[in-house]
Amino acid sequence: MTARHLISPPPEMRVSPRGLLAVIGLGALAVAWWPVVVVFRVPAPVEATVLLAHLCGMLAGYAVVVLLGLMSRTPALERGVGADVLARWHARGGRIVIGLILVHAAAVVLAWAQSRQESTLLALWHVLRLPWLMAATIGTVSLLAVGAASARAARRRLSYESWHTLHLLTYAGVALSFVHQLAGPDLTGHRWLQICWALLYTYVFALVLLHRVLTPLRQATRHRLRVAAVVPEGPGVVSIAVDGRHLSELRAEPGQFFRWRFLTPDTWRSAHPFSLSAPPTDNRLRLTVKALGQGSAHLQDIPVGTWIGAEGPYGAMTAARRTRRNVLLIAGGVGITPMRALFETLPVRPGQDLTLLYRARGPEDLVFSHELEQIAHWRGARLLYLVGADHDCLSAPALLRVVPDLAHRDVYLCAAPRMSDAVRAPLRDAGLPAEYLHEERFAF
Ligand SMILES: Cc1cc2nc3c(=O)[nH]c(=O)nc-3n(C[C@H](O)[C@H](O)[C@H](O)COP(=O)(O)OP(=O)(O)OC[C@H]3O[C@@H](n4cnc5c(N)ncnc54)[C@H](O)[C@@H]3O)c2cc1C
């Protein structure tokens, strides 16, 4: 890998989830090792609070970098690990960071109080007066505010946009606590370590800037995306054909999604994730939108000619994940969109089987029936509709009745979170090993 590839890897590069976890784990070990060295170097008995303060402080600083990296939208991570998995790791990691920061702060104050025989309150006052501590405390408070807003109960009450805007506070929080890290007892006096730490932060901020700001801007001017047609597919569902230039440079794959920002006065503020519902070509992309809330309802009659900013492609639920001969696609509701594109394009050789199970509440909720039947016909693939409110058709015995070799297939699953949750256990009970289940959840 060249230096250029580190900051901007080739679009086809993929980092596997295991590979990424291994790198994060090794990084954590390396970071945890240093404060232990620092603490044991001092020729005095080591207090547990002191060791805890050092360890948690360094690990929190490291975990923050990891969290930013996970959300940097680096293509190798998005394609290899998948946006939904990255978002879940980020959410879990956020809780760990907050825990580490709180333990670090408490341990520092306690250690100070013990070593100087002061009350905890007086120790807190002295600690806060240390250089850059006030800035770090404000940074910590902003991280706590973001954490509180992300807690399930609060998240449900906030609109996605408000929650997302609040999340931008994280960057301010990280910047405010950065100098405290450099000036802290583990790094101060170690010029090379300070440089490496600063480079780590610079690198990850560069990734965020590149992939979340500069690349979308470059793509907007290069590809000049506009709405070409809006086609009703069913009640509250439309397909939006998008025209653009040089789209093959994006290397978008069936199964992936973009974050679409439609530039009208009503819709420009939010970028919504929608999957490609047809294989991409050099001058056309297609997405299909179900009206589930205000943002998606506005798109039902978006004017032809509207300019679009699109970020992506993202998502790991592509043909690259396939390792077995036969494939089962399971789509629930509007989760049919990426499955429609995969159903048309997943390679099927003679003797191999491709089956699509399409679950919908009622016949009126089925979209693309005509297209799906045509694809099934010319590809020799199987198409099964599971229509009705009853969830029994998704039990392990029911699934095995229609796909007896289920345990020996790659299974692609895309549905709303509730249906995905309802299918995961039956798939496991039917004998499918977890590594052969490839999922895109329509929720972050
Ligand atoms: C990877 C992915 C692919 C998707 N593909 C499709 C698709 O092909 N077709 C389709 O109809 N729907 C798809 N969705 C769902 C679609 O993104 C949401 O229905 C839409 O964003 C809802 O926005 P809203 O303002 O209409 O509804 P709201 O009522 O504001 O939100 C409904 C739900 O969508 C979530 N949401 C809202 N805005 C965003 C956002 N900007 N980013 C992430 N989540 C958001 C909210 O948290 C909430 O859970 C996909 C979702 C994801 C995560």
- 181-233 pLDDT, tens per residue? 998 888 988 999 999 999 999 999 999 999 999 999 999 999 999 999 999 99
Same domain, yes or no, for 346 and 364? yes
| Residue finishing a domain among 289, 314, 339 | 314
CATH of the domain at 346: 3.40.50.80
Same domain, yes or no, for 48 and 154? yes
> What is the rounded average pLDDT for all residues in the chain?
91
* 404: number of Cβ within 10 Å: 10
Distance of alpha carbon 286 from alpha carbon 243, whole angstroms: 9
**Is 12 part of any domain?**
no
Pocket test for ligand 1, best of 261, 288, 292 (most atoms within 8 A of CB): 292
In terms of residues, how long is the chain? 444
Q: Measuring CA to CA, which residue among 404, 403, 394 is closest to residue 426? A: 394
Same domain, yes or no, for 367 and 414? yes
Same domain, yes or no, for 199 and 124? yes
Hey, is 434 helix, strand or coil?
helix
Same domain, yes or no, for 32 and 179? yes
Judge if the beta carbon of residue 426 lies within 6 A of ligand 1: no
Closest-lying ligand 1 atom to the alpha carbon of residue 296? 26
The pLDDT, as a whole number, for residue 143 is: 87
What mean pLDDT is predicted for residues 426-430? Answer: 96
Closest-lying ligand 1 atom to the alpha carbon of residue 314? 1
Q: Measuring CA to CA, which residue among 376, 382, 388, 423 is closest to residue 402? A: 382
Neighbour-count burial for 21-31, b at 16+ CB within 10 Å, e otherwise: eeebeeeeeeb
Is residue 161 a contact partner of residue 269, using CB atoms and an 8 Å limit?
Answer: yes
173 pLDDT band (50/70/90 cuts)? confident
Same domain, yes or no, for 202 and 252? no
**Is 6 part of any domain?**
no
Judge if the beta carbon of residue 326 lies within 6 A of ligand 1: no
What mean pLDDT is predicted for residues 97-123? Answer: 94
The pLDDT, as a whole number, for residue 186 is: 87
Judge if the beta carbon of residue 162 lies within 6 A of ligand 1: no
What mean pLDDT is predicted for residues 90-118? Answer: 93
**Is 235 part of any domain?**
yes
Judge if the beta carbon of residue 257 lies within 6 A of ligand 1: yes
Judge if the beta carbon of residue 238 lies within 6 A of ligand 1: no
Judge if the beta carbon of residue 288 lies within 6 A of ligand 1: yes
Atom 46 of ligand 1, residue of closest alpha carbon: 160
Hey, is 209 helix, strand or coil?
helix
Q: In what order do the strands lie in the sheet with 272-275?
A: 272-275, 257-262, 307-314, 225-234, 237-243, 284-290
Atom 52 of ligand 1, residue of closest alpha carbon: 442
Asked whether residue 372 carries a pLDDT value surpassing 50, the answer given is: yes
Ligand 1 center–CA 277 separation, angstroms:
15
| Residue finishing a domain among 314, 330, 360 | 314
Q: 116 is in which domain, residue-wise?
A: 17-216
Residue with tokens 């932060």: 201
Both tokens of 362, joined, read: 């009622």
Is residue 387 a contact partner of residue 357, using CB atoms and an 8 Å limit?
Answer: no
Judge if the beta carbon of residue 440 lies within 6 A of ligand 1: yes
Q: Measuring CA to CA, which residue among 337, 313, 317 is closest to residue 327? A: 317
Is residue 143 a contact partner of residue 105, using CB atoms and an 8 Å limit?
Answer: no
CATH of the domain at 273: 2.40.30.10
**Is 124 part of any domain?**
yes
Both tokens of 366, joined, read: 């089925």
The dihedral sign for the CA sequence 304, 243, 14, 338: positive
Ligand 1 center–CA 300 separation, angstroms:
14
Atom 32 of ligand 1, residue of closest alpha carbon: 293
Same domain, yes or no, for 239 and 284? yes
Q: Which contacts of 424-431 are long-range, i.e. CB under 8 A and separated by 24 or more positions?
A: 426/394, 426/395, 426/396, 426/398, 426/399, 427/396, 427/399, 429/396, 430/396, 430/399, 430/400, 430/406, 431/406, 431/407
Asked whether residue 5 carries a pLDDT value surpassing 90, the answer given is: no
Same domain, yes or no, for 339 and 426? yes
The string of DSSP letters for 36-91 reads HHHHHHSSSPPPHHHHHHHHHHHHHHHHHHHHHHHTS--HHHHHHT-HHHHHHHHH
User: Which residue has better confidence, 401 or 147?
Assistant: 401
The pLDDT, as a whole number, for residue 1 is: 46
Judge if the beta carbon of residue 442 lies within 6 A of ligand 1: yes
Same domain, yes or no, for 152 and 196? yes
Provide the number of structural domains found in the chain. Answer: 3
Judge if the beta carbon of residue 293 lies within 6 A of ligand 1: yes
Helix ranges restricted to H, 329-368: 336-345
7 pLDDT band (50/70/90 cuts)? very low
Across 35-49, 377-391, 411-425, least confident range:
35-49
Distance of alpha carbon 178 from alpha carbon 135, whole angstroms: 9
Ligand 1 center–CA 442 separation, angstroms:
7
Q: Measuring CA to CA, which residue among 171, 238, 255, 162 is closest to residue 205? A: 171
The pLDDT, as a whole number, for residue 37 is: 84
User: Which residue has better confidence, 121 or 3?
Assistant: 121
Closest-lying ligand 1 atom to the alpha carbon of residue 289? 11
| Percent of the chain whose predicted confidence (pLDDT) is above 70 | 97
The pLDDT, as a whole number, for residue 12 is: 65
Distance of alpha carbon 185 from alpha carbon 112, whole angstroms: 13
Judge if the beta carbon of residue 171 lies within 6 A of ligand 1: no
| Residue finishing a domain among 163, 181, 216 | 216
Q: Measuring CA to CA, which residue among 226, 341, 222, 210 is closest to residue 275? A: 341
437 pLDDT band (50/70/90 cuts)? very high
Ligand 1 center–CA 87 separation, angstroms:
14
Same domain, yes or no, for 120 and 245? no
The pLDDT, as a whole number, for residue 377 is: 96
**Is 10 part of any domain?**
no
DSSP letter (8 states) at residue 283 = S
- Give φ, ψ of 374 to 5 degrees: -60, -45
Same domain, yes or no, for 62 and 131? yes
Ligand 1 center–CA 146 separation, angstroms:
21
Strand 437-441 to 410-415 pairing: parallel
**Is 297 part of any domain?**
yes
Pocket test for ligand 1, best of 296, 365, 367, 412 (most atoms within 8 A of CB): 296
Pocket test for ligand 1, best of 274, 275, 339, 413 (most atoms within 8 A of CB): 274
Same domain, yes or no, for 342 and 243? no
**Is 262 part of any domain?**
yes
Instruction: Encode pLDDT of 18-46 as tens digits.
Output: 999 999 999 999 999 988 888 887 777 77
Task: Tell me whether the omega of the peptide bond preceding residue 363 falls within 30 degrees of 0, making it cis.
Answer: no
Instruction: Encode pLDDT of 295-332 as tens digits.
Output: 999 999 999 999 999 999 999 999 999 999 999 999 99
Atom 48 of ligand 1, residue of closest alpha carbon: 160
Asked whether residue 390 carries a pLDDT value surpassing 80, the answer given is: no
**Is 1 part of any domain?**
no
Is residue 234 a contact partner of residue 366, using CB atoms and an 8 Å limit?
Answer: yes
According to DSSP, the residues that pair with 332 across neighbouring strands are 359
Judge if the beta carbon of residue 443 lies within 6 A of ligand 1: yes
Instruction: Encode pLDDT of 266-282 as tens digits.
Output: 899 889 999 999 999 99
Hey, is 265 helix, strand or coil?
coil
